[in-house]
């Protein structure tokens, strides 16, 4: 991300070293920046959580939204999905090591957000 903007004698601007693909920050935001994604990761930090319980924890999120985000997180290798063979059948989710690696970032974001709200 060492882009520069040069201005020629006529005042025209050109950008040197433009990003031709998503930069590291954009790639990271695509992993954890989606609506409800960070909250889902945060709620899975301690123990595996069943789908219905996770939906209750995320009071404002629809079941469809939670399901979509969990599928994205699973496809990205951040969440593990396990079907529990009980009656009725339940599904629980837990963080992978890759998913756990985002917790420090989310905790720092939480602290930053709380210290700048007002």
Q: How far apart are CA 41 and CA 80, in angstroms?
A: 11
pLDDT tens across 2-57, in order?
Answer: 778 888 888 888 887 776 777 888 888 888 888 999 999 999 999 999 999 999 99
The answer to whether 79 and 21 are in contact (CB under 8 A) is: no
Q: pTM of this prediction?
A: 0.78
Predicted pLDDT of residue 45: 95
Q: How far apart are CA 4 and CA 18, in angstroms?
A: 8
pLDDT tens across 93-109, in order?
Answer: 999 999 999 999 999 99
Predicted pLDDT of residue 4: 80
* Cα atoms found within 13 Å of the Cα of residue 34, Cβ hemisphere only: 16
């Amino acid at each position: 991300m060492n882009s520069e903007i040069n201005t020629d004698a006529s005042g025209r601007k050109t950008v040197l070293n433009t990003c031709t693909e998503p930069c590291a920050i954009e790639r990271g935001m695509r992993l954890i920046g989606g609506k409800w994604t960070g909250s889902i990761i945060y709620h899975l930090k301690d123990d595996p959580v069943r789908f219905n319980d996770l939906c209750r924890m995320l009071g404002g999120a629809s079941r469809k939204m939670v399901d979509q985000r969990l599928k994205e997180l699973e496809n990205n290798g951040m969440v593990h999905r396990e079907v529990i063979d009980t009656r009725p059948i339940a599904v629980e989710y837990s963080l992978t090591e890759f998913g756990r690696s985002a917790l420090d970032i989310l905790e720092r974001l939480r602290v930053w957000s709380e210290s700048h709200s007002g």
